[in-house]
């Protein structure tokens, strides 16, 4: 199987946290699928993420407007009197910090890994703590802007740089170990698709927001994301419909998504001001889309 990462963090089979799923012992595709089903059923019945949304991951198919939605959601969170920390985990998209009007990006969290040896954490690293407060994060890894903080795990910049597995590990550990105080939130811009779910990055989140555009591919992927999030024990999974041209299309999308048991929390209609701003890599501070997202965020912080 290559390098194996236990979804429960067990260092060896039959560890105290082991549920005897057999995932680490699987030698065939069929055995792995059966073990994964056991993990899924276990997590579904051991839900821990009750209460108001605090650890929020935004995901979806590539090109649906995910990064733009993250900016709008972050602004809305601050508008509602909450403290927002934004974490950019997309190793491909280079422009999220620019959308937040940040001139110089912060130091990537990937630099915390040792350059040589086994690639583990450097000694005495703050990211290794079991409990991390927002104020524990050194300022060199943070850019502050418009009432929120911005962090990034890192980017794939050069050929032969390697895969993004280490970045995924950093994201999962930070989300899991971060202790948020009242009205503090972390908003994560994830990579497109479902690969991060395969790595278990979202396991420690309490809320998944899937950005869905009017296309078969986007809605099909949203159903798959919902299935995988449910298998991680995450109960709060909602679709935000984006780039919607009409109420008729909105109703059709809502109906189709409901067939996969995916609830819709709100809709953002096609907004010409958003489209125009995207050409210069910015998101307008005032727009119909921003107003619609504020309504969505208000719902988000009232549903437990």
The answer to whether residues 72 and 203 belong to one domain is yes
Q: Does 65 lie in the same domain as 5?
A: no
Domain of 239 in residue numbering reads as 55-300
The C-alpha atoms of residue 283 and residue 276 are separated, in whole angstroms, by 9
Q: Read off the pLDDT band of 87 (50, 70, 90).
A: very high
Instruction: Look at residue 26 in the predicted model and tell me its pLDDT.
Output: 80
- State how far the Cα of 259 lies from the Cα of 163, in Å rounded to an integer: 35
36 and 59 in a single domain? The answer is no
Q: Tokens 């089903």 sit at which residue?
A: 37
Number of domains in the chain: 2
Q: What is the 3-state secondary structure (H, E, C) of 55-84?
A: EEEEEECCCCCHHHHHHHHHHHHHHCCCEE
My answer on whether 97 and 33 are in the same domain is: no
259 strand-pairing partners: none
83 and 111 both lie in a single domain? yes
| 111: three-class secondary structure by DSSP | helix
104 and 253 within one domain: yes
Q: Are residues 175 and 27 in the same domain?
A: no
| 207 — pLDDT class (breaks 50, 70, 90) | very high
- Quote the DSSP letter at residue 178: B
**Model confidence pLDDT, tens digit, residues 30-86:** 777 787 777 766 666 655 555 668 999 999 998 899 999 999 999 999 999 999 999
| DSSP one-letter string for 77-104 | HHHTT-EEEEEE--SS---HHHHTT-SS
Q: What is the pLDDT of residue 195?
A: 79
Q: What is the average pLDDT score of the chain?
A: 83
236: pLDDT strictly greater than 80:
yes
8-state DSSP, 139: G
Inform me whether the pLDDT recorded for 19 exceeds 90: no
> Which residue has better confidence, 271 or 159?
271
Q: Which helix (H) or strand (E) holds 165?
A: helix 165-177
pLDDT of 249 reads 97
How far is it between the farthest Cα atoms of the chain?
Answer: 57
Calpha distance 221→223 (Å, rounded): 5
Count the neighbouring beta carbons within 10 Å of the beta carbon of residue 40. Answer: 18
Average confidence (pLDDT) over 129-143? 91
Residue 243 banded pLDDT, cuts 50, 70, 90: very high
Residues 14 and 103 in one domain: no
Does residue 64 share a domain with residue 33? no
Low-confidence winner among 40-49, 132-141, 210-219 (lowest mean pLDDT): 40-49
More confident of the two residues 87 and 111: 87
21 & 65 share domain:
no
With contact defined as beta carbons under 8 Å apart, do 150 and 86 qualify?
Answer: yes
Query: What is the separation, in whole angstroms, between the first and last Cα of the chain?
Result: 39
**118-144: b or e for each residue (b if 16 or more CB lie within 10 Å)?**
eeeeeeeeebeeeebeeeebeeebebe
**For residue 244, pLDDT beyond 90:** yes
37 and 152 part of one domain = no
CB 176 within 8 A of CB 203: yes
């Amino acid at each position: 199987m290559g390098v194996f990462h236990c979804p429960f963090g067990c260092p060896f089979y039959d560890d105290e946290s082991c549920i005897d799923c057999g995932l680490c012992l699987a030698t065939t595709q069929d055995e792995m699928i059966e073990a994964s089903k056991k993990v899924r059923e276990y997590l579904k019945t051991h839900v821990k993420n009750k209460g108001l949304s605090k650890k929020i991951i935004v995901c979806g198919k590539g090109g649906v407007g995910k990064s733009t939605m993250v900016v709008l959601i972050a602004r809305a969170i601050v508008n509602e009197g909450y403290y927002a920390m934004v974490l950019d985990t997309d190793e491909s998209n280079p422009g999220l910090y620019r959308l937040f009007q940040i001139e110089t990006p912060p130091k990537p969290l990937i630099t915390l890994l040792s350059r040589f040896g086994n690639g583990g954490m450097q000694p005495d690293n703050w990211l290794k703590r079991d409990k991390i407060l927002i104020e524990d994060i050194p300022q060199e890894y943070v850019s502050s802007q418009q009432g929120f903080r911005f962090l990034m795990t890192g980017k794939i910049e050069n050929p032969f740089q390697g895969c993004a597995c280490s970045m995924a590990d950093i994201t999962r550990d930070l989300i899991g170990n971060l202790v948020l105080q009242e009205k503090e939130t972390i908003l994560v811009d994830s990579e497109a698709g479902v690969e991060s779910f395969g790595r278990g990055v979202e396991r420690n989140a309490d809320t998944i927001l899937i950005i869905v555009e009017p296309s078969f591919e986007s809605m099909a992927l949203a159903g798959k994301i919902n299935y995988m999030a449910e298998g991680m024990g995450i109960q709060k999974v909602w679709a935000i419909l984006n780039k919607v041209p009409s109420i008729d299309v909105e109703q059709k999308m809502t109906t189709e998504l409901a067939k996969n048991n995916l609830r819709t929390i709100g809709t953002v209609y096609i907004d010409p001001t958003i489209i125009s701003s995207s050409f210069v890599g910015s998101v307008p501070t005032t727009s119909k889309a921003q107003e619609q997202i504020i309504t969505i965020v208000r719902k988000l912080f009232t549903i437990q």
